Amino acid sequence: MISKQSIAPRERNRKKPAVITPEQNERAVRIRIVIAVGVIALLYAGWLSRAFQLQILDHARLLREAEANYLKSIVFDTRRGDLLDRNGVVLAKSISADTVIANPRLVKDRERTAKLLSEMLTLPLESLLSRLNSRRYYVYIKRQVTSIEARRVRRAKLPGIFIKQESKRYYPERDLASQILGIVGVDSKGLEGVELEFNAPLLGEVQRVKVIRDWRNKTSLTDETVSTERLSGRNVVLAIDAKIQRYVEQQLKEAVLNSRATSGMAVVLDPNSGELLAVANYPSFNPNSFTRFDRNWWRNRALTDVYEPGSTFKILTLAAALETKSVTLNDIIDTEGGRMRIGRYVIHDTHPSDRFSVLDCMKHSSNICMAKVADRIGKKAFFDFIKRFGVGSVPGTRFPGETAGMVLPLKKWGQIHLANIAFGQGIATSAVQLAQIVAVIANGGFLVKPVLAKRILDADGHVVQRLDGVQRKRVISETTAALVKRAMVAVMQPGGTGQELKFEYYDVAGKTGTSQKKNPDGPGYSEDLWIGSMTGFAPVDKPRIVVAVVIDEPLDKHYGSVVAGPAFRAITEWTLRYLGVPPTRQKPFSVVKLQKPERDRSYVPRVRPRPRVAPRRPLELIAQNGPADLSKVIVPDFGGLSMDSVRKLASRRGLDIEYVDHGFSTQQSIAPYTRVAKGSRIRVVFKLEDK
């Protein structure tokens, strides 16, 4: 090593003589170097402690701030699940559809763009212009356009106009079971039917993923994963069988059109499991374009609407009478020549007679007989039986708007009510409830819960939830059921009301029904509005299906066996054969083909609005074609509404109501659907129903 002194003095010596010796100077410089380095070293230490403060002490806060800046969460839309029939036939699925959107701020020539788009998509020019002139970044031009429209827009390559994919509900079977399936709005939200009830599982879970964004807000990285199986919603398997449903719908349509009825309903129920194999309504609609159809057609009337079951209800009356041992099948009842007076009212029989055995009562569907039988049961016991058979409580299919049926409270029952209810007037059930009542007879005395949806599956087909466990409770004894069954078999035999229906392969138990409808214009029953129905089950020995067919307001003939019978027969036999049930008859009857009536081709069925229910949507919709005049309102139809409903309806529209009397509304001073100034006074007359 070199010694320090060896060269330094030599070099210094060459410099001018100084007061400060070079050695002193060198030492001073070195001391100052150490001082300077000390300062720098202290700074480094300070920097390090600052790093410690930021990275260790303030770590949590700073990381939170950092993440608030660069993390964003992305929502993964799930594909709405499918609706399947019991065999896996897809009834509803989601497909992607093109939707035309615009970023008005990127649109170059608004006038020209609006003009082109209005031609390509057949949209009104003004609304397009106003949308393109908005200061937003995202407006819908037209949602879920056809592929032709989308191609036109793509080809035009208009700046600021984009096409994005949206999920659209598609019903491959078109109008099949449409009222069961329901409808889905443009935002993939169930609005009616099963789509509404199972909206949550169908939609599935929305997945949020935290992603790191860059400064242009573009997604860059993520450590989280998206579960692909959860990207699609759950599938719901329905109890209905698409093939049976299709056949039932066809037969129902035939029946409605042949009898020139307003509408019809048909239900096929498995009496043992309670599964609804078919629930049909006619007229039906195509849910792919539901907006084009009358709103009333969307209702699954077999589940949501009530009607007075008429003679088919006698099954329940008879069961109650036999169960309470009020009568036996062989008891002779005086039917008073087909005319019986109860107070102010007179009851008629279609097949007048002086006396009938109870069995014949069923066979000939005697009202007087049944009224007397009910009288023997007694009001209280009969009321309890009606309740036990499920009338007055919802069947439990989970269908939205499912009706419980209507039973007059026991304390309001007069003698006439007891008599009326005995033959199915003055009481209301849904078609499914009727099938449920018949099923009690068919399965030997059990009330089963009807099943509409069997199970919920995940995207891979694994069962997530079972909904189809048989829930049943005994309501009558097996013996009683067998006796009622005997009576129902008799109905189909010669002399019975169902004798004209020749069944080729199976023994069938049934009951016809012809009920009067309430007079829509006034009190009491209408003279010419009827409901023809037919219900029953087959095969008699080991019933597999319960069928109920209800034809509303047939125009020409109104007897249940005539208007509903052929459909009932066709449905029953076809379904049993489809199900592979061995025929009970070796040699088919020589079939007398029912002559197909001449059909009025111009006839268009219509569904009456649901009675006594306030319109679910504001009626202003009716006026949407006219110019909007906000000072005027449309007078709603108050007909049949309670005072409270009238008050609500009127206050929503800003109408003044003068209440006359009480009960349900019968008259209104200004006709429905007329336009009146807001605040107009309307006189509404109310009346109590039962007089």
Partner 1 sequence: MITDVSTVSPMLERAVAGGEHRAPRPYDYALLLATFALMGLGVVMVYSSSAAIAETRFKDPAYFLTRHLIYLAGSVVSLIVGMSVCYKRYQQYVYWLLGGSIVLMMLVLVPGVGVTIGRSTRWFRVLWFTFQPSELVKVTFIMYLSYSLAKKSAEKIKTFSIGFLPHVLVCGIIVFLCLFQPDFGTSLILALMLFSLLFIAGTKVSYLVLAFFVAIPFVIRAITSSTMRYNRVLAFLDPWAMRWTHGFQTVASLTAVGSGHWTGLGLGNGRQKLGHIPTPQTDFIFPIIGEELGFFGVCLVIGLFALILWRGIAIAYRCKDEFGRYLAFGLTMLISAQALIHMGVAMNLLPTKGLTLPFVSFGGSSLMLSAFTVGVLLNISKYNENPIPSDLLTQIKQKDKKFRRPRKTKVTRKTESERSPA
Rule CB under 8 A: which residues touch partner 1? 1-2, 4, 6-8, 10-11, 15-16, 18-20, 24-25, 28-30, 32-34, 36-37, 40-41, 43-44, 46-48, 50-52, 54-56, 58-59, 61-63, 65-66, 69-70, 212-216, 220-221
Residue 486: CB atoms within 10 A of its CB come to 15
Instruction: Enter the tokens of residue 150.
Output: 């989308």
Selected catalytic residue, list 259, 284, 311, 533: 311
Distance CA 532, CA 513 (A): 6
**Minimum CB distance to partner 1, residue 52 (Å):** 6
Axis crossing angle, helix 415-422 with helix 379-388, rounded to the nearest 10: 40
Which residues, 6 or more positions from 127, have their beta carbon under 8 angstroms from its beta carbon?
none
Which two structure tokens, joined as six digits, stand for 530? 């009827």
Of the two residues 6 and 624, which places its CB atom closer to partner 1 in the complex?
6
For residue 643, report the phi and psi dihedrals to the nearest 5 degrees.
-60, -40
Let me know if 306 is exposed, middle or buried by CB neighbors in 10 A (0-12, 13-18, 19+). buried
Partnered with residue 533 across adjacent β-strands are 513, 550
In degrees and rounded to multiples of 5, residue 317 shows phi and psi of -60, -45
The encoded tokens of residue 532 equal: 């023809």
Q: Is 417 helix (H, G, I), strand (E, B) or coil?
A: helix
CA–CA distance from 287 to each of 181, 469, 607 (Å)? 8, 29, 17
**Active-site residue, 311 included:** yes
Buried b (16+ CB within 10 A) or exposed e, 550-562: bbbbbeebbbbbb
- In the chain, % helix, strand, coil (3-state, to 5) comes to 35, 25, 40
- Residue 450's nearest CA partner among 272, 305, 301, 276 is 276
CB proximity list for 408: less than 8 A, separation 6 or greater: 417, 421, 426, 427, 690
Please say which residue, 4 or 208, places its beta carbon nearer to partner 1: 4
Nearest approach, Cβ of 221 to partner 1 (angstroms)?
Answer: 8
H helix or E strand, kind and range, residue 528: strand 525-538
Chain centroid offset of residue 657 CA = 34
> In sequence order, what are the beta bridge partners of 213?
219
Q: b or e along 154-181 (b: 16 or more beta carbons within 10 Å of the residue's beta carbon)?
A: eeeebebbbbeebbbbbbebebbbbbbb
Q: How far is the CB of 45 from partner 1 (least distance, A)?
A: 9
Q: How far apart are CA 223 and CA 608, in angstroms?
A: 58
Number of helical H runs and strand E runs in the chain: 21, 26
54, 4, 87, 20: which is closest to 578 by C-alpha?
A: 87
User: Facing residues of 84 across strands?
Assistant: 90, 237
What amino acid positions are annotated as catalytic residues?
311
